[in-house]
Structure 1
Amino acid sequence: MNIIIVGAGEVGFHIAHKLSRENDIVIVEKKPEKIKYISEHLDVGAVLGSGSNPAVLEEAGIKSADMLIAVTDSDETNILACLVANFISPHISKASRIRNPEFIRYENLLGRSFLNIDLIINPELEAVKSILKLLEVPGASDVVDFAGELVRIIGIKVDWEQLVGIKLKDLEKKVSHKLLIVAIVRNGQLIIPTGEDKILLNDLIYVISKGEKTCHILEAFGKETKPITKVLIVGGGIVGVTLAFELEKRGIQTKIIEKNPEHCAYLVEKLEKTTVLEGNGTDLTLLREENIQELDYVITVTGEEEQNVMISLLAKALGAKRTLTRINKTSYLPIISAIGLDNIVSPALSAVSALLKHMFQKKVLSVMPLGEDLQAIEVMTTTVSNIIEKPLKKLKFPKGTIVGAIVRNKNVIIPSGETVILPEDRVVIFSTTEAIPKVEKFWR
């Protein structure tokens, strides 16, 4: 596809990074230093100027483009870019980043009835959804559902020495559950493992299992799975206030720290059951007074990732059971595990996930990025597919891919080499980002 991305911020850069291997990308950005950075780090085209300027969009190739993705920090600029694109090239598919809840309330105005925006992306709200999913599954580092929650992918940090050194082919006997490890992240490097690979301390492993077995799997890896009851949120921005509101509805005791006095007054008015504390999340005295060692989670979601990381590290040092840290800069993600943080949430990755689901919906049922270099794809087989009714071990899947699960008539199959795929099976495939084009070609 020919894709124009308006805005080279963190979200725009990450989308370009994910899509540039398989598509022709042109980025429109009005700041020269960002154009320079993009040109040095990505193999994409770049045009200097405003994405709401018709002449700039024409220079970027809007008339021959298949899709426009407007993800600047300004909702108004993004909406205007889609309006201009709709006028110049009515056939083009349009996605827009819109953060203001007041705009989102008028989704019909932005959608088919007027501006023809095909997808509205709100990274902050997508991040809240990711946080809530993690809170539903205490002990997991990452959670992704497929096939209506019949299949669940669980990211687990290995810190239980009883499992260290075990070969993957022997793991089922040790944990007494049917599971499949589809990926290992070790020292920042992604491994698509074989049965001969061993589990090492501090590995981040991705396990696929039946949804109802989640707690059993986590307990088998030495994780605590008691429901969340007490949470402290640091940062009262869009993510913080939305998360607090959702936790209130779930009956979870919630406190929120916000340093801006005026915004604290707004939070008190907005939230009914949440305790609002005025202060700085890096204040050790304040953290001690809140007895964070008694809390289930400390969630840091200010707009500054350096501060989020610092607060989470302080919370861990003071005895917090688990931390969840908002990271905006995706370049930080590979080192997060190394410095001792538990869960992370990235609005940029959440936005990419929403966009990929939209882009792939005609080809596949679902697609989900897991970290930097791993993607999970859910596809449906057809009667004319040349891979059906053949054992998996005889199918030459591209290097860097693995079939993680098959859903057949609502039954979940964790496959072996002897398993065969039948028509209308839902198949969950894991692949490195680099191998995605080969997976698509293979599946076609």
Structure 2
Amino acid sequence: MRVIIVGAGQVGSTIAASLADSHEVVVVDIDPDRVESLTYAIDVLAVEGDGASVDTLKEAGIEKADLLIASTDDDETNIVTCGTAKTVGDAFTIARVKSTKFLNTWQQAEGAFGVDHMVGTNLLTAQTVVRVIGLPAARDADTFAQGVVQMAEFTIAPDSPVANQTVQEADRFESLTFAALLGDDEVVIPRGETVIEPNSEVVVIGSPESVRQFGTAVAPDAEAVTDVLIDGGSDIGYHIARLLEDQGLKPRLIEQDPKRARELAEQLPGTTVMESDATDREFLEREHVDDVDVVVSALDNDEKSLLSGLLAKRLGANRAISVVDNGAYVDLFEEVGVDVAVNPREATAEEITRFTREQHAENVALIESDRAEVMEIEVDGESVLSGKPIRESVGDLPDGVVIGAITRNGEFVKPRGDTVIEVDDHVVVFVDADAIEEATPKL
């Protein structure tokens, strides 16, 4: 497949790196330094130019392209790029947008703007934050098979009851699979005797109830979230509040701009909107931030988000989640005290990656940006999984692949060695990054 990616920032580069081994990838960017850097970093053809220009797209080979991904930081440029591509080619077009006004328009008239699929960065980010809020001890979470299967990633604190246990000792849940242990430098596919080291990260796949029970085992002191404070009335902050309202919660939201605060108060009837500075210590103390279960920093500035999250934690908030626009800051935020840092660009790359996998891949979640993937596939007759017990079929797959869960006719099936996977089953698998190229065509 020939893929043209317009925009060589974090989103475009992440997608290009994931596709370069198995597809013909062309990346277009107006910045010559980015183009040169990408040429040396991964095996792609890099073209310098404006992706919204028909001449640049022709130079990139748009007339022979199967897929065009417009992933610059400018919504209008991405939409125009897709529309331009449709005038000279027949590629499937994907546009990344931040503003939900474009997403809403496109959803009401699918195919509008010449865009075949539109990815709303702000909404995706809010959904990611809300999933993490729903699992008090998790640092990442995603759902598969229409909510029947859940994946979650937990950091094992040194004082966690699970720390230093073997997987066999920790595996007390009927519908749970330990998919991987992530250390600093390696991805370990666990066996029963594998020890869960303190400060390692555990990826589990199972029913939502079993994942929630494991989260309680990891951090027994973590309580159900009832009080959420959102710092910042950005579009992402608005969507987080709206989604929490939909779950029956009554969040509080701090917004400094009076006009924006009034707008949010009108749009969010179940949210208490407060006009103030999210970094005002006296205000936070008056609002009893020390009783808050989760503080979400969704300010328009990364540095302010970091400050507000750390201040809330210092004043006694139980947990801090920050939306971090610059992906290079994610590790830094978590190292200095923020519990979870969510990067909108990573969420966007994850969603777009789903469209670039094999046709039967229903959903994809990226683990630690690019260390592994969890993907949902619908099994067909050509899959090495179909018609055989799992203990036999996994012999045809590379190391680094774990069958995490199966759904059949919408019902959860825990994978065991003697389980026979049938055609039309939905299978959720963990795949180490090193095994993706070999494993994907076989699944």
TM-score (norm 1): 0.89
> Is 1:104 paired with 2:77?
no
1:401 Cα deviation (Å)?
Answer: 1.4
- Indicate the SS of the match to 1:162: coil
1:147-181 residue CA offsets vs partner (Å, 9 max, x unmatched)? 22222212222124432222213322xx3545221
Aligned residue number for residue 69 of structure 2: 69
| Structure 2 Cα separation of the partners of residues 108 and 250 of structure 1 | 23
| Equivalence map 1:218-233=2 (5 Å) | 218-224=215-221, 226-233=223-230
1:384 Cα deviation (Å)?
Answer: 5.0
1:34 Cα deviation (Å)?
Answer: 3.1
| Structure 1 Cα separation of the partners of residues 312 and 143 of structure 2 | 29
> Is 1:199 paired with 2:177?
no
1:404 Cα deviation (Å)?
Answer: 1.2
Q: Which amino acid aligns with 2:97?
A: I
1:352 Cα deviation (Å)?
Answer: 1.9
1:182 Cα deviation (Å)?
Answer: 0.5
| Structure 1 Cα separation of the partners of residues 39 and 381 of structure 2 | 45
- Contact 1:10 / 1:328 at 8 angstroms: preserved in 2? no
| Equivalence map 1:173-322=2 (5 Å) | 175=172, 177-187=174-184, 189-224=186-221, 226-322=223-319
- Indicate the SS of the match to 1:148: helix
- Contact 1:218 / 1:224 at 8 angstroms: preserved in 2? no
- Contact 1:231 / 1:298 at 8 angstroms: preserved in 2? yes
| Structure 2 Cα separation of the partners of residues 383 and 209 of structure 1 | 25
| Equivalence map 1:129-168=2 (5 Å) | 129-159=127-157, 160-168=159-167
| Counterparts in 2 of 1:70 and 1:205: CA distance versus 1, 3 Å | same
| Counterparts in 2 of 1:189 and 1:300: CA distance versus 1, 3 Å | farther
Aligned residue number for residue 43 of structure 2: 43
- Contact 1:21 / 1:434 at 8 angstroms: preserved in 2? no
| Structure 2 Cα separation of the partners of residues 411 and 265 of structure 1 | 45
Aligned residue number for residue 419 of structure 1: 419
| Counterparts in 2 of 1:293 and 1:25: CA distance versus 1, 3 Å | same
Aligned residue number for residue 32 of structure 2: 32
| Counterparts in 2 of 1:218 and 1:63: CA distance versus 1, 3 Å | same
- Contact 1:297 / 1:320 at 8 angstroms: preserved in 2? yes
| Structure 1 Cα separation of the partners of residues 137 and 125 of structure 2 | 18
> Is 1:400 paired with 2:396?
no
- Contact 1:110 / 1:116 at 8 angstroms: preserved in 2? no
| Counterparts in 2 of 1:168 and 1:301: CA distance versus 1, 3 Å | same
> Is 1:10 paired with 2:7?
no
User: Which deviates more, 411-420 or 129-138?
Assistant: 411-420
1:139 Cα deviation (Å)?
Answer: 2.7
Aligned residue number for residue 379 of structure 2: 381
| Counterparts in 2 of 1:378 and 1:88: CA distance versus 1, 3 Å | same
Any unmatched runs of 5+ in structure 1? Answer: none
Aligned residue number for residue 118 of structure 1: 116
1:237-259 residue CA offsets vs partner (Å, 9 max, x unmatched)? 11012222333344423222234
Q: Which amino acid aligns with 1:105?
A: N
| Structure 1 Cα separation of the partners of residues 243 and 330 of structure 2 | 26
| Counterparts in 2 of 1:250 and 1:94: CA distance versus 1, 3 Å | same
- Contact 1:138 / 1:228 at 8 angstroms: preserved in 2? yes
| Counterparts in 2 of 1:110 and 1:280: CA distance versus 1, 3 Å | same
- Contact 1:401 / 1:431 at 8 angstroms: preserved in 2? yes
Q: Which amino acid aligns with 1:430?
A: F
| Counterparts in 2 of 1:229 and 1:87: CA distance versus 1, 3 Å | same
| Structure 2 Cα separation of the partners of residues 5 and 295 of structure 1 | 42
| Structure 1 Cα separation of the partners of residues 331 and 22 of structure 2 | 23
| Counterparts in 2 of 1:250 and 1:165: CA distance versus 1, 3 Å | closer
User: Which deviates more, 400-409 or 281-290?
Assistant: 281-290
- Indicate the SS of the match to 1:50: coil
1:85 Cα deviation (Å)?
Answer: 0.5
User: Which deviates more, 203-212 or 233-242?
Assistant: 203-212
| Structure 2 Cα separation of the partners of residues 305 and 17 of structure 1 | 26
| Counterparts in 2 of 1:364 and 1:282: CA distance versus 1, 3 Å | same
| Counterparts in 2 of 1:170 and 1:117: CA distance versus 1, 3 Å | same
- Contact 1:137 / 1:225 at 8 angstroms: preserved in 2? no
- Contact 2:177 / 2:404 at 8 angstroms: preserved in 1? yes
1:175-226 residue CA offsets vs partner (Å, 9 max, x unmatched)? 3545221012223643332333211112221112222333322222234564
Any unmatched runs of 5+ in structure 2? Answer: none
User: Which deviates more, 236-245 or 247-256?
Assistant: 247-256
| Counterparts in 2 of 1:261 and 1:315: CA distance versus 1, 3 Å | same
TM-score (norm 2): 0.89
| Counterparts in 2 of 1:319 and 1:18: CA distance versus 1, 3 Å | farther
- Indicate the SS of the match to 2:317: coil
User: Which deviates more, 404-413 or 73-82?
Assistant: 404-413
Give the paired residue count. Answer: 439
1:315-359 residue CA offsets vs partner (Å, 9 max, x unmatched)? 222211111111223334455544443233221122122212333
1:359-382 residue CA offsets vs partner (Å, 9 max, x unmatched)? 347222222222221211122223
Q: Which amino acid aligns with 1:292?
A: V
1:260 Cα deviation (Å)?
Answer: 3.7
| Structure 1 Cα separation of the partners of residues 386 and 223 of structure 2 | 42
Q: Which amino acid aligns with 1:296?
A: D
Identity %, equivalent residues: 29
Aligned residue number for residue 351 of structure 1: 348
Aligned residue number for residue 21 of structure 1: 21
| Counterparts in 2 of 1:17 and 1:415: CA distance versus 1, 3 Å | same
| Counterparts in 2 of 1:286 and 1:427: CA distance versus 1, 3 Å | same
1:125 Cα deviation (Å)?
Answer: 0.6
Aligned residue number for residue 436 of structure 2: 436
1:6-65 residue CA offsets vs partner (Å, 9 max, x unmatched)? 122332233223333332322222233333443454433222221111111111221121
1:117 Cα deviation (Å)?
Answer: 1.5
| Structure 2 Cα separation of the partners of residues 329 and 418 of structure 1 | 46
